[in-house]
Amino acid sequence: MTIMTRRNFVIGAIATAFLASVLAMDAAHADKNKRGAREGDHDDALTALQKGEVRPLPEILLLVRPKIKGEIIETEFEYEDGVPVYEFKYIDKNGRVREMYVDARKGTILKDKRD
């Protein structure tokens, strides 16, 4: 396998795992939502994706992965001032934890900062 093929495979595997967890957790949170609890970020992400309001995580990863100089350790979906955002927490080459915020509609990096 070439490096690019491996990278695409890894990105695809991460995206598939994320989307599978989104679908699996939807049913798990149904009872909690009936009691009035706020939906989780995966529910928000799924709803926004189904409405066409955001780009799928695999597309966003293809755009920003080359700009992340380290290993992604966590991904979240949230709204920042009404803007849908993917947050990538990663460990940079110096071992520091950083957070990158990416506009989930456009794929543009909004900020990249130390955690």
- From CA 49, how far away is CA 103, in angstroms rounded? 13
Q: How far is CA 3 from CA 8, 15, 59, 88, 93, in A?
A: 9, 18, 19, 22, 19
pTM higher than 0.85 for the full model?
no
Contact 101, 111 (CB under 8 A): yes
Query: What's the average model confidence in pLDDT over 94-102?
Result: 96
Where in the chain are the domains? 3-114
Residue 3 has pLDDT above 90, yes or no: no
Residue 19 has pLDDT above 60, yes or no: no
CATH classification number, 3-114, choose in 3.40.630.10, 3.40.640.10, 3.65.10.10, 3.10.450.40: 3.10.450.40
Residue 63 has pLDDT above 80, yes or no: yes
For 22-60, what is each residue's pLDDT tens digit?
444 443 444 434 333 344 678 888 999 999 999 999 999
- Of residues 85, 90, 115, 81, the one with CA closest to residue 101: 85
